[in-house]
Chains A and B, each alone.
Chain A
Amino acid sequence: MTKQNSSRSLIRGFLESAERFPDRTALVVDGESLTYSSLRRLAGRIASAIAENGHTRSPLVAVWAHRSQTAYAGILGSLGAGKGYVPLNPKFPLERTCRMLALAGCTVLIVGRECLGQLSGLLGSADFPLTLILPEVFDLGEFLPSRPNHRFITAGQLPSGESFSSGEDSASASAYLLFTSGSTGVPKGVPINQGNVRSYVDYICRRYDVNEHDRFSQQFDLTFDLSAHDLFVCWERGACLYCVPEHSLMAPAKFIRDHQVTMWFSVPSVAGLLEKMRLLPPGCFPSLRCSLFCGEPLPAAYAASWQEAAPNSIVDNLYGPTEATIAITHYRWNSQKSPGECLNGIVPIGQMFEGQQFRITDSRGESVPIGEVGELCLSGSQVAAGYWNDPAKTRQQFVRLPGARERIWYRTGDLVQRDEAGNLCYLGRVDHQIKIRGYRVELQEIEAVLRHACGTEQVVSVPWPVNSGTAEGVVAFVSGVKGFDQARILANCGDVLPDYMVPKKIYLLDELPLNSNQKIDRGELRKLLLEGALA
């Protein structure tokens, strides 16, 4: 039987499944299937390579890979070596990746074959020695010029990994470090420890009765914390993980049917896109038994359509910021009852996970009466201790609250209201953070890049278009730009920002409208967009 305690490591969960189900398929990726024993073997070789060559005090190993065997085995190998992992995304601009690597302080980097084309550029920017592990590369000669500062371990040089074990359990050991958009223009690191994820995984496995016959979707990029749900919930119980290929991400309906997926997890936008493309007819997903949505507000219309498409599935709306480890509240969709419980057409975020705590507070941190709007504050075993190497930001967001000073509370910045049934309902943000396809985006980060690219302080970004309460992108307004060259400015943005943060359009105005407080009037700008009054 599996050992259940708060310090049980994530790698122990995988290894025990590998012990119980060595011949069951653990992973289907890039057209290939790996059994638990073969994935364990590959992860063990990577773990041994880290242990033998990672002479570093850093608790983290970076994994620069994408939807490949190396991506998943690299994560397991990092955890097996007693390190947390830092996922890096080859779809992100190289400059951002280099910055994340430097901020994380990693000296060991696991590299997937799919990143080799960018490797030379990354090494050119790295001004510190790295140990690079390349599990799918046998010959480096064709890819790289001589790089004497760095050490390379190719597939043929990987140790055998025979002695792979889960080591000691420690709840405080690092699980992963993820970077989210930062309002100062610098990505913000959120370190999540093993105990945080263990609390989540145990609760979810119980709630959804996960078993070895389940087939999990793996839709999220690894830089998105919701991917940790797919990997660790799946492998904890010996189930199989199906990595959705890049080309199927937008319209995964055929993928779900072809692989008879039982456990679905995505942002609500995916349901919206499938519906618009008429790929969500009633009864089209009979294999699904659990459909989970998270990452952005879930419109009631999408939940209803998905429920009809997946009649054998429960539909749950999950909510949680990265700082509270994947998700921390849930709401079960009920076709009869739920439409009456939705607020502004948005499904409630529901109730807290068992054992986690919340407060709804006013601007002084005092709890507001039930029914009033306030900021959601979170505490409990899933909540992180603070930000990575950023004590000022940590003090600002991780606080003690009046009347509840015995514990640290994370201020989410999310405005919520508790309804009569006790469900939490999401209402918006206290700041300028938005979500695009589930990704957290600080508008200030986009504006910081735009200021630099445009050579003016007069910049502002606005979520647009917004459909069913969900932002599909961002547009920008600028003023006072000499020699305005939209294509050049956007190219500069694309060098620094991930594609979902690059404005879809930039409008040059004579001057930006101001409100009565002499602040830029974003409402007026939205009005211009709505009226279609812009060229």
Chain B
Amino acid sequence: MRNDDKLIRISNDPKFVELVSRRGRFAWILSIIMLVAYYGFILLIAFDPSFLGTPVSDGSITTFGIPVGMAIIFLSFILTGIYVVRANNEFDELNKEIVEEYSK
């Protein structure tokens, strides 16, 4: 049970509370950006398909749909990258401090 008591004490530690709120907020913001981008794209297709079929410039074959679609693929990768860099450095640093403090 000692390990369990330690977990309860950590849950009240201000550092832990800070880690949870910072990482949580960051994760939700990125999730919302991703969801808005994807569902915005889907709803655009459903309600105004002609926009994505408009050529990017006069006389071009490429339509807006191509760069917009590609942008969502890149956005997925970029957002995961941003999260991983911050979580694996800043947040894990903070996490390590907490774990070490309580492993004494």
Please indicate whether A and B come from the same complex rather than being unrelated chains. no
B interface, CB within 8 angstroms of A: none
A interface, CB within 8 angstroms of B: none
